[in-house]
Amino acid sequence: RAAAHLDIDDLALIGSPGTGADTAAALGTPARVWAARGADDWVAEVPHVRTDLFGVTVGFGTDPVSPAFGAHVFAAGRGGHSDYFSPGSVSLTNLARIVLGDTAEVTRA
């Protein structure tokens, strides 16, 4: 929900079960949307659905690393949900490249 109001060039979703939006474009931001998930992240097991339940929307929606979401998917290595910022990790290296604007150097999943 905040993405549309941020003055940013890139938005990275890491270990995300979903955003509540069906696609990256539906986030309403002109920023490039990136997504990654470590191979051992338990979030991969979270159902990627969204539904109305008694007038309340529950669930996270489309998986951010799925082709249907439309993000630029980058490599995050073998790590789990708490490993994205581990020194020397694939995910931290790629996040640094994104932050520095070296997006051509980001390794893809």
Does 61 have pLDDT greater than 90?
A: no
Closest CA relative to residue 50, chosen from 37, 75, 69: 69
| Residue ranges per structural domain of the chain | 3-105
- pLDDT mean over 37-53: 89
Interstrand relation of 56-59 and 50-53 (parallel, antiparallel or unpaired): antiparallel
Does 88 have pLDDT greater than 80?
A: yes
Q: Structure tokens of 25?
A: 């474009």
Report the pLDDT value the prediction gives residue 53, as an integer from 0 to 100: 82
pLDDT, mean over the chain: 93
pLDDT bracket for residue 1 (50, 70, 90): confident
User: What's the pTM value of the predicted model, to 2 decimals?
Assistant: 0.89
**Residue written as token pair 């070296």:** 102
Does 66 have pLDDT greater than 80?
A: yes
